[in-house]
Amino acid sequence: MDAEFCTTCGEKGAEKRCSICKTVIYCDQACQKLHWFTHKKVCKKLKDQWEKQGAESAKLMEKEQNAKDDEAVEDTTSSLQDLSVGQEEGSPSGSSHLQADPEVSDPQSTNQV
């Protein structure tokens, strides 16, 4: 993770964010208090921008997930149709004519080498 820098003093490793806008970072409460006079003028706008960006990101993620879901449904439907067509073409009655191998399925059969 990249190191964050304090907005007020520039110290590396700042971890405290403004509790309102969540975008501005400080190393401690003293730096936050020093910067508040300037920051309070833009804090609400930053908060609104942050929330809007989050909402847009959520909508985009939902749209992408819906597209993936639609693709999965289409793939599954296509596969089922292919299986159905293949089954109809392979058997005149439309039922599968797969047979079990008697040597494998017969529990009485024990082929030892």
pLDDT digits (tens, 9 = 90+) for 12-48: 989 999 999 988 999 999 999 999 999 999 999 998 8
Cα(39)–Cα(80) distance, integer angstroms: 60
pLDDT digits (tens, 9 = 90+) for 61-102: 888 888 888 888 888 888 888 888 777 666 555 445 555 555
pTM of the model as a whole: 0.45
- Any idea where the domains of the chain sit in the sequence? 16-81
Cα(3)–Cα(38) distance, integer angstroms: 24
Strands (E), 1-113: 16-17, 25-26
